[in-house]
Structure 1
Amino acid sequence: MEIRKAKRKDIESLIENRIEFLSLIRDMDNEDELRVALKDYLEKHIEDDTLVIYIGLINNKIVASAILTIYERIPTAACISGKMATLLNVYTVKEYRRKGFAKEIVRNILKDAKEIGVVKVQLEYTDDGYELYRDLGFSPLNREMAIILE
């Protein structure tokens, strides 16, 4: 498998990969709208310092991926620089799972994050992904909440 950072030429494949991932974890009644939003976002950010995407390819098809969105917030004692990131869409196509592809991709993405100056990376995990993230050094957080503003 070839593992590399995604580029502008990969946008259409990235959209398909993300739609496939999202359809596995939630119902999507707005897929067409989501495709347009993903394309706009990726075209704007794929080559700047706010987004890092790594992909694993076999025969030029994405079979594994991870997305890191980078942002700044007010500094805290745990994150003086305020530079943080969220790891998203760590996904491997079913027939390629448990071969170490996701671990290698996440290692690459974390290396890039550190080089960019990111201090803290957060993620939401599934039961299937828990071991992977724990093995890479992530620790569970227990006091987070969210609200959806519509």
Structure 2
Amino acid sequence: MNFRKATKEDVKHLAYLRKKQLIDEGCYSECNIDDELERYFSVGIANKGLLIWLAIADEDIIGTAGVCFFQYPPSFTNPTGKIAYITNVYTRDEYRNRGIATKLLELVMEEIKAEGCMFARLHASAQGRGLYEKMGFVDAQGFMSKSMT
């Protein structure tokens, strides 16, 4: 197994795996998001606002873990204002429970530290919660959201 960073050549496969991840997590819609996903990955990879590590087995992408970087206003608790949002942590069913997601997350965490981010955030699926807790993530209440639709 090899690990490498995603490139623009991986965009279609990343879109496919993202849809598979959403379905595996219980989300399903008749809405076609293929074009939006491909645009998201293309733009994010090109402008370096999105970095994705891939696990490769037999020349096939079998796992992903990504990070989006955001700039918030600097504060006393985060002088740089940099925030990392971990996303697209996914391993294909037949490769799960082999440490692949752990290795991918370790690679992503190295990138986050190198970027100078003070915090890393993520939304944990039920399947991923144990892994994130094992890696030191804690449940952080206090965020509020509002649907704009």
Q: Same fold (TM over 0.5)?
A: yes
**Cα distance in 2 for residues equivalent to 1:58 and 1:124:** 27
CA distance in structure 2 between the partners assigned to 1:56 and 1:140 by the alignment: 27
In structure 2, relative to structure 1, the CA distance for the partners of 1:103 and 1:53 (3 Å cut) is same
Segments of structure 1 that go 5 or more residues without pairing to the other structure are none
Residue 30 (structure 1) aligns with: 31
Asked whether 1:67 is paired with 2:74, we answer: no
DSSP 3-state at the match of 1:21 = helix
State how far apart, in whole Å, the 2-side matches of 1:78 and 1:99 are: 36
Higher helix share: 1
- Separation in structure 2 between the aligned mates of residue 54 and residue 28 of structure 1, nearest angstrom: 27
Q: Kindly provide the amino acid, as one letter, of the partner of residue 9 in structure 1.
A: E
**Identity fraction in percent:** 25
Q: Which residue of 1 aligns with 2:142?
A: 143
Q: Can you list the C-alpha shifts for 1:60-117, whole angstroms capped at 9, x where unaligned?
A: 2211111211111112222111110111121111111111000000000110111122
On the 8 A contact 1:64/1:91 being kept in 2, the answer is yes
Structure 1 residue 8 corresponds to structure 2 residue 26:
no
Which one-letter code corresponds to 1:51 in the other structure?
L
| Letter paired with 2:18 | R
Equivalent residue number for residue 42 of structure 2: 43
Cα distance, 1:44 vs. partner? 1.6
Distance in 1, matches of 2:77 and 2:60, equals: 39
Quote the offset at 1:136 in angstroms: 1.5
Cα-to-partner distance string for 1:19-39 (whole Å, 9 max, x where unaligned): 1111222112212xx111111
How many Å separate the matches in 2 of 1:18 and 1:53?
12
Q: Which amino acid aligns with 1:14?
A: L
Specify every segment of 5 or more residues in structure 2 that has no aligned partner in the other structure, as ranges: none
Change (3 A) 1:110 1:47: farther
Aligned partner of residue 43 in structure 1, secondary structure: helix
In the alignment, structure 1 residue 78 sits paired with structure 2 residue 77: yes
Question: Given that residues 49 and 116 in structure 1 are in contact (C-alpha distance below 8 angstroms), is that contact kept between their aligned partners in structure 2?
Answer: no
